[in-house]
């Protein structure tokens, strides 16, 4: 049963959709049967390139092609309506980050999954990066003791051409937010994956040098976790041409682990690739300090073998999702994990607007 092919459908033919389409067209677990976009020309272009039947209506696509798994790549505020419709048709759903733009949408999506007995997953491919996996294994093995302090720093860049490339970008109504909603969810996810549940947030969001957009290009926050640990977060799209994105975790025994997940500006699906490999850049576990150079060498060598690093990790995430469905097992990163990310960026927005500490 676990080896059977799953009938798959893709919703939304924007930039990141090409990563999903290539995976769905080539993975042996996938029978790619439908692509859906409100613009028939875009759906037809995907049909001509990847083979699935083009549609403008998701219900029609699922009825006619008996889709079992839907991969959702629409703008963030549209995630909930398409996901709920697909789940009401009995399909499992994997959503590109973030799960939604609001907590209400997240809760409605999770309720739809529960009432239909289907699975809802969220794309979190940076969890699969080898440097990130090493960090998680070390933390779970107790090698740094209890994680007590974390730091996330994203110093990236987006130019005016990026925001003009899609009319929905840079607007509250159609994007749902700025750097917190679009570029930061992967690292908000990793932060909570490493540190546990969030209880308290203070923060500020601002637009520093992008006057042609409505939303924030920069945010900073201080976060407290249920464990008693704390974190500092600063995320920005205001550093031209982009510096790096790093996440560091420090333990109660004084040991630290960390990774530079992105060098330069974070990649833009359909517009740019990853500038360099994800690497561990911090490793002070007693007796393992010498491993850092080995890790870096391994990850640089791996990166050189990958024609497209972003495509590789997306395909791995999608393959894991399909394997879980085929085997009737829980999907690797369920929708509830995605909701935690939305709760965190929502709290940072509230803290900024209301100039107060927000309790979760």
Report the CATH number that the domain containing residue 219 is assigned in CATH: 3.30.360.10
Whether residue 280 is contained in a domain is answered as: yes
Domain's final residue, options 122, 146, 164: 122
- For the chain, what is the domain count? 2
pLDDT at 1: 37
Instruction: Say if residue 273's pLDDT is above 90.
Output: no
Q: State whether 179 and 97 are in the same domain.
A: no
Q: Which of 122, 154, 187 is the last residue of a domain?
A: 122
Q: Specify whether 262 is located in the same domain as 290.
A: yes
What are the tens digits of pLDDT across the range 216-266? 999 999 999 999 999 999 999 999 999 999 999 999 999 999 999 999 988
Range of the domain at 267: 126-306+341-359
Residues 112 and 130 in one domain: no
Each as own residue / partner, the long-range contacts of residues 139-143 (CB below 8 Å, 24 or more positions apart, any chain) are 139/194, 139/249, 139/251, 139/257, 143/251, 143/255, 143/257, 143/285, 143/288
pLDDT in tens, 313-346: 999 999 999 999 999 999 999 999 999 999 999 9
Residues 152 and 65 in one domain: no
CA distance 72 to 9: 9
| Interval 132-143 mean pLDDT | 98
Sequential DSSP letters for 208-233: SS-TT-SS-SEEEEEEEETTS-EEEE
Asked if the structure places residue 243 within a domain, the reply is yes
Residue 20's domain is classified under what CATH number?
3.40.50.720
Q: Which among 241, 275, 269 is positioned nearest to 159, based on CA atoms?
A: 241
In this structure, the answer to whether residues 271 and 133 fall within a common structural domain is: yes
- The pTM assigned to this predicted structure is 0.96
Give Rg (Cα) of the chain: 20
């Amino acid at each position: 049963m676990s080896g059977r092919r799953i009938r798959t459908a893709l919703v939304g033919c924007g930039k990141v959709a090409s990563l999903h389409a290539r995976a769905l067209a080539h993975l042996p677990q996938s029978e790619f049967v439908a692509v859906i976009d409100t613009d028939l020309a875009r759906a037809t272009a995907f049909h001509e390139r990847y083979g699935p039947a083009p549609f403008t209506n998701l219900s029609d696509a699922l009825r006619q092609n008996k889709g079992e798994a839907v991969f959702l790549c629409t703008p963030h505020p549209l995630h909930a309506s398409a996901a709920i419709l697909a789940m009401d048709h009995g399909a499992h759903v994997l959503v590109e980050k973030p799960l939604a733009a609001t907590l209400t949408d997240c809760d409605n999506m999770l309720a739809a999954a529960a009432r239909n007995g289907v699975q809802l997953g969220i794309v979190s491919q940076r969890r699969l990066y080898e440097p990130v996996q090493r960090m998680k294994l070390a933390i779970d093995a107790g090698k740094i003791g209890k994680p007590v302090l974390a730091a996330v720093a994203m110093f990236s860049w987006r130019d005016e051409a990026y925001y003009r490339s899609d009319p929905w970008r840079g607007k509250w109504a159609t994007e749902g937010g700025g750097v917190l909603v679009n570029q930061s969810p992967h690292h908000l996810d990793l932060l909570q994956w490493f540190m546990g549940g969030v209880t308290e947030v203070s923060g500020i969001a601002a637009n520093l040098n992008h006057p042609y957009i409505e939303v924030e290009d920069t945010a900073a926050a201080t976060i407290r976790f249920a464990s008693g640990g704390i974190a500092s977060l600063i995320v920005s799209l205001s550093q031209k041409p982009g510096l790096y994105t790093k996440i560091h975790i420090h333990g109660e025994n004084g040991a630290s682990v960390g990774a530079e997940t992105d060098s330069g500006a974070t990649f833009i699906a359909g517009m740019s690739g990853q500038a360099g490999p994800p690497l561990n850049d911090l490793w002070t576990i007693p007796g393992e300090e010498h491993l850092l150079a080995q890790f870096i060498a391994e990850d640089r060598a791996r990166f050189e073998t990958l024609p497209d690093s972003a495509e590789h990790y997306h395909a791995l995430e999608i393959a894991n999702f399909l394997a879980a469905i085929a085997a009737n097992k829980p999907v690797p990163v369920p929708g509830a994990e995605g909701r935690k990310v939305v709760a965190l960026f929502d709290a940072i927005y509230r803290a900024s607007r209301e100039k107060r500490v927000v309790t979760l």
